[in-house]
Amino acid sequence: MHQRHLPASPNWYCSRCSDINGKGVLGFGAKNTIYLLNVTAVSPAVTGELTGHTERVSGFVFCSHDGQEHICASTSDDKTVKIWDAEQKILLKEHNVHQSTISAVHWSPVQKLLLVTGDEKGIVVCYWFSSNDTQSFFPEPRTIFCLSCSPHEENYIAVGYKDGMIVVIDISKKGEVIHQLRGHDDEIHALACDMSLTLSIDGSNGVTEGAEMGYYLASGSRDQTVRIWCTARGKGVMTLKLPFLKRRGAGVDTAVKERLWLTVHWPKGRPSQIVSSCFGGEIIMWDLKKSGKQKWSLLGSSSDGQNHSRIVFNMSSFRSGDRELLLSTSMDREIKCWDLASLECCWTLPTLGGFVYCLSFSPVGTGCLALGIGDSMIRVWNTLSIQNQYDIKTFWQGVKSKVTALAWHPLKEGSLAFGTDDGKVGIYEVYSNKPPQISSTYHRRTVYSLSWGPPVPPMSFGGSGDKPSYSLYSCAGEGVIFQHDPWKLSGEASNIDKLIRDTNNIKHKIPPHTDLSWKPDGSVLAIGNEDGSIEVLKAPMLKLLCTVQQHHKIINSLRWHHEHSSQNELQYLLASGSSNAIVYVHDLKSVIETPSESPVLMTEPFRTLSGHTNKITSLAWSPHHDGRLVTVCYDGTAQVWDVLKEEPVCNYRGHSGRLLCVQWSTVHPDLVWTGGDDFTLHEWAVSKQEHVTPPKTKKRVEMGKKRGAQKKSKTKKKAPEKGGMKAEERELPLGEEIKGAAGSEAEQGQSDNDEEEEERENTDGPSVTGNGPSFLLSSLAVSSASSRFCASSAVFEMSLRLSGYLSLKKRKPRSILPLSTSMDHRPKEELQQDCLTLAAVRYSHGQSGACVPGSADHIQLGLFTDRDALYRMFQEEEESHVEAGHYDSMVYLRLWKGDLIGAINLAAEKGELTDHLLSLAPMAGYQVWARTVEAYVKQLCHHEQFLKAASHLASIHKLYEAINLLKSHQFYREAIALARARLQSEDPVLKDLYMSWAAVLEKDGHYAAAAKCYLAADSSFDAAKVIAKKGDVISLRMAANLAQISGESELAHSLSLRCAKDLMLFQDWAAAQKVLRMQDSLLGHRLVFCVNEILTQRLADTDVVTWSVASSHTWSKSCDENFLSTVHRVWQSEFEVAATDLVKVKTLHQQLRAIENPPATTSVPLKQLLFHISLDVTLCALSQLLCDWPSVLEDLLQALTRGSEVGHFTLMTEVCQLLLTQGLESVTFYKQKLDPTDERSLVISQSVEAFVCYQLMYKKWWNYSAETSALTNNTFSNGHCLTEKNQSEVDANCNGEAQSDVIFSEGFWKVLLSEPHANLQATQRAIAEIQRRVTSLIQQHNQCKDSHESSQALSTSQSETLEEHGGSLSGKSSESLSTLTAQLAEHHKALTALPELVKKYSFPDVMECCIILLHMGKHLTPFPQHICSKATTLLCKYGSTESLGKAWKRLTQ
């Protein structure tokens, strides 16, 4: 039906809105329509449309299975999914399961009947086409951006989300998430699967083909990466970072990253290659087998202009013969076809992103057609190009608004004038790269018409060389026609109305102009007006020749017949079209050739062309025929007329919307071009049309009404989001253009619904507006606002209520005098009778009979007589307002009467006080004003306007009430601001506010803000405490600083110590010392941390410390110096602590001695244990400086035993070697310092010596023993597990050491085989064993009792037995308990009898030493008989427990 076709632009920001089937049919969604194209490697051809959606199409996909390539599916923002037959162009099925906007769609490559869709709420819907069944899944509560069905596993679906998450779900397992693919950190724009199953990618980005079976998933994200995932393993195997490409001749767009849309496509026959979009519209082919950094090749790199100029949204491919073609859609409104073998562009199909407002063929450049589009661009099409039938150039610079008018210069090639909807007029030189010239004179409204004509005064004055041969005339919506000088557009344009007034001596108001048309020879100008009149004026002075009064509505289009017809008289024909659907043709030959003295009034047309059913929008005469006219109309059709015969020739019905412009081809006599609000341009042949006349059934009118009904229902529908309408719906009314197209500065989306509601017009009068042609007025009013992009789905709504055009029909406000006003709407006779009654009242001097003006039936007369009548009218009106509940109107009436107090009291009583009334209250006195403020405050509080209420209380100096009001409603910040501004600084209210707010902030976790409140309330202690509440290092440090500044020294002390301990756990020694240095009182703790740091560094060379250190001091590094000597040296150099200052040392010793150092347990972490040991060592070093040798040995013993108590033999050994470097010789050195008469010192030294011998015994045994496994699996009764003393640890400790045989002398064993300690340990073991047995007995009793109580059928004997168990535990149980109790008492008595010093200090397990002695004596080296006998005796006497007996027997056999 049409020759060539420019379709609407594909929708933006959709993950899959275009697709191509195996037969080369491309489908894409544009607005709410799907366009179908037949694609070859040579050119495309539009074959049809699929219409049915009421809102923007958000997705489109073909079924890829053989025999079903013609089946396709679409999704829309109307929340429906439709299945189509693309060949028949009919709807097959649909469903509306989704409750939210649908954002993703894919047809399963495996199950030919399965269609999968996803929406913004995260719902995935599976639809089985044949059975019409649906199943919904909710894998993740996230916004879905895209999805893809697996080409190999029929139940697997990959879903990409807005936050960068990708999940693979199994629909056979109720949507169970199989894999969560994490790696992207922004929107997932596209997913594509490897279709071949022949690709294998290893973890190091290596690619091979033909490896083990598996398939991969490619994802493109807004984070500028393409990732390849192995869905079998559920992890990423390759990441491809987009390269930055700067095109030649193109500037760098600073916002290019922000607008990125990264789509990916995996061509079916290319398993190792994927195609992706890039930043600025480039398309990249990635070769996954290619090594090195640059794995990509750029499509269209051989020459400029092949790539898209803006971001690419969708790509799809198919095989055409032996060539594989790729189709891409972009924000630049072009569809491109690429050859994937050569990577070159085959062809480009431009599309349109707005209404086609105007068309113009160049009179100089043959076949050069200019298009004015609502997407803020001008397109110039060389329609005669042979190589490229869509050879179109786009111009956008300087436009920045809808292009509503175009006009080529009659003589100058390439000079194109344009006008826009914002009143701009400019001239483009289309064959140069220069920006357009813009006229300095702007219209106030939309430019509707442009025309080149001869200059008229004042521009026509001057010499022939000083004036242009043609002027540019523009007509716009405000009704003004400007004459612009094309040589000097920067100068001021002239309004031709002044010339018309002066020439024709017109005094009355000139009607607003709506269109103009110069006769081709430039002799006559025709102007169309808003009132339907047409004025014909003779150049150059614009003398009025005649006025045509035929139309009764606004003139939309005027066109003169061409001059080169065979009949000369036809050049005087003027065709006109208006909003009354009739085209008139006037013959002005007589008027022009023989003008009369005065203007002629014409009321009869030469020809009348009737048939259209709606307003006429444009006209065009055929340049090839005589009297052949084509008209376009809002009924959606184009009509060709034979004007002379007054007959229709043909009717074109190919558009799906209303037509706005038409041009007859200047080359081909049979071709016509039309454009409309369906975003399309059609080229069609007159001879091929099957229809002759426009549709008689007013089909198009009904269609328009239906559209209007849909839009109205849509605006009434509640939005699913909070707050009424969606954000998109709350915007200004949307039109068709996109202010972000092809180089515009604004980043915008695309409108999805651009139909307009028909204007309501008076059939017997002129149009309601005086601002321009009605067809453009309605279309531009609706399309006046820019489309706005929504990142998730780009949803746009039409909102006609906010339209500038419809704003003319505002609702009239309610009358304040409704009764008297209603009396003016009675029949005409009654209104005339009122005049007689009023005259009688006015002139009867009080003798008016029963008529009382202002009351009853004559209430309306109260306005026209005296004040008493007016007051009576007010009284009745007030009563009416009270009944209707319109108290505000009643208040105004009282105010008008001067009853201010009454008005205020009434408003206060009804809760209708306003700011206006409050502002008037002072006129009635201070007391009235104060009472009014108090009443208004109560009213405001009722409406929860507490801030305003408090402000009014403050205005009458009730500050405390205002502050309490704010405080009681949690407006603490405002309450404090008011109190600070108006109260004294020492007022207790301020402190109460700060403390109350601080408590609330602290409860909510806003600790910093709470601290500021505490500080303001002079509660620095609470401020420091609340900052420390978070517990992290930074907070603790800040809290300590705050406490120090505010004088809370004790708190600063504790917080600094707490912070330092946390830093110690992180091994950040430098920071810990820095924190402690702030407090002079923490010097002792600094010494402990110093010792801890040195100890950790020394132990780092062993297996004890395995962690890394965050920071340390140089003095803590390991060296050969004695450990305690190193400590003393560092103390003296870094902390100025030395033996010379005994007072200081004694003070520090007392300070640290007061610190509670808890006993070691197995649950204490190793770092904490080392800190406890460091405290013991610090006390030992300080005692050494004080020469307090008993304390030195006692602290040494405490440090040694901590490792033993937790079962860490290696730690005990390493600490022993560090503190007692010479072993027993070091102990002997300390014993020589002791007082021999001091029993306590001797006991301590004996324990220290025993622990040294204990670890030496194990070292000697493990060093020479060949069989250690027997011992390492035994556990002794004291709880020591010998497996911890593993061979590797001991070997490492004893390497390089040579212990002399004197170690195993009689004195050595005498120290270890201490009978008092053996007695103590045996008694402790016995007590522990008895306690264990008693506990076990009680547990058995409780279990027996519970089982008897739960039984429902107990015998008498069982009940008695239960009582015995529950009472005195008689029988055998009672005897056992009593026996155990007696034994426990005896052992406690024996324990009491032992010496206190023996019980106070730790000692190695004597029984353990006896067993090792006997084992070594039997298997390794013999010992003296009396020593072995002593060990045997001790074992027999004190080793009676079962575990010791087993160990003795096993190791000595």
pLDDT in tens, 561-594: 999 888 889 999 999 999 989 999 999 999 999 9
For residue 481, the model assigns a pLDDT of: 96
Q: Would the pLDDT of 252 be above 50?
A: no
Facing residues of 90 across strands? 85
Rounded distance, CA 748 to CA 376, Å? Answer: 12
Closest CA to 450 of 414, 484, 489, 405: 405
Least confident piece of the model among 237-246, 802-811, 1032-1041:
802-811
Residue 1267 or residue 1063, greater confidence: 1063
Least confident piece of the model among 244-253, 1037-1046, 1108-1117:
244-253
Strand order in the sheet with 368-373: 356-361, 368-373, 377-382, 392-395
696, exposed or middle or buried, with CB in 10 Å at 0-12, 13-18, 19+?
exposed
Distances, alpha carbon 1045 to alpha carbons 128, 601, 822, 1054, in Å: 73, 97, 78, 15
Helices marked H in 574-635: 589-593
Q: Would the pLDDT of 754 be above 60?
A: no
For residue 1349, the model assigns a pLDDT of: 56
DSSP 1330-1368: HHHHHHHHHHHHHHHHHHHHH-SS--HHHHHHHHHHHTT
Helices marked H in 513-594: 589-593
For residue 782, the model assigns a pLDDT of: 40
**Band of the pLDDT at 248, cuts 50, 70, 90?**
very low
Rounded distance, CA 604 to CA 594, Å? Answer: 18
**Band of the pLDDT at 1350, cuts 50, 70, 90?**
low
Q: What is the pLDDT of residues 446-490, one digit of tens each?
A: 999 999 999 998 887 655 556 778 999 999 999 999 999 999 999
Q: What is the pLDDT of residues 1352-1397, one digit of tens each?
A: 444 444 444 334 444 433 344 444 678 888 888 887 888 888 888 8
Q: What is the pLDDT of residues 404-422, one digit of tens each?
A: 999 999 999 999 999 999 9
The answer to whether the CB of 129 falls within 8 A of the CB of 114 is yes
Show Cβ contacts of residue 1003 under 8 Å, excluding neighbours closer than 6 positions.
none
For residue 1000, the model assigns a pLDDT of: 92
For residue 802, the model assigns a pLDDT of: 36
For residue 715, the model assigns a pLDDT of: 43
Q: How far is CA 819 from the centre of its chain?
A: 55
Instruction: Find the mean pLDDT for residues 621-638.
Output: 95
Least confident piece of the model among 49-53, 179-183, 269-273, 1014-1018:
269-273
The two three-digit tokens of residue 1083, written as one number: 């010097």
For residue 1302, the model assigns a pLDDT of: 44
**Band of the pLDDT at 246, cuts 50, 70, 90?**
low
Q: What is the pLDDT of residues 884-913, one digit of tens each?
A: 878 778 788 888 888 888 888 888 888 888
**Band of the pLDDT at 311, cuts 50, 70, 90?**
very high
Q: Would the pLDDT of 41 be above 50?
A: yes
Q: How far is CA 1314 from the centre of its chain?
A: 76
Q: Would the pLDDT of 801 be above 90?
A: no
Helix, strand, or coil here: 173?
helix
Least confident piece of the model among 165-174, 176-185, 1141-1150, 1204-1213:
1204-1213
Q: How many CA atoms lie within 13 A of 676 on its CB side?
A: 25
Rounded distance, CA 1038 to CA 1055, Å? Answer: 9
Q: Would the pLDDT of 1293 be above 50?
A: no
Instruction: Find the mean pLDDT for residues 783-794.
Output: 36
For residue 1453, the model assigns a pLDDT of: 59
Q: What is the pLDDT of residues 966-1023, one digit of tens each?
A: 999 999 999 999 999 999 988 999 999 999 999 999 988 899 999 999 999 999 999 9
Least confident piece of the model among 70-84, 487-501, 686-700:
686-700
**Band of the pLDDT at 23, cuts 50, 70, 90?**
very high
At 160, the amino acid letter reads G
Tokens 């099957």 label which residue? 690
Q: Would the pLDDT of 688 be above 80?
A: yes
Q: How many CB atoms lie within 10 A of CB 919?
A: 10
Question: Which of 285-298 are b and which e, b meaning 16 or more Cβ less than 10 Å from the residue's Cβ?
Answer: bbebeeeeeebbeb
Write down the mean pLDDT value for the chain. 82
The answer to whether the CB of 280 falls within 8 A of the CB of 253 is yes
Q: ∠ CA(725), CA(729), CA(732), 5° rounding?
A: 130
Closest CA to 1253 of 1204, 1310, 1203: 1310
Q: What is the pLDDT of residues 1272-1283, one digit of tens each?
A: 344 333 334 333
Q: Would the pLDDT of 1146 be above 80?
A: yes
Q: What is the pLDDT of residues 313-368, one digit of tens each?
A: 999 999 988 899 999 999 999 999 999 999 999 999 999 999 999 999 999 999 99
The two three-digit tokens of residue 761, written as one number: 């017009």
For residue 816, the model assigns a pLDDT of: 86
The two three-digit tokens of residue 95, written as one number: 């469903």
Residues above pLDDT 70, as percent of the chain: 83
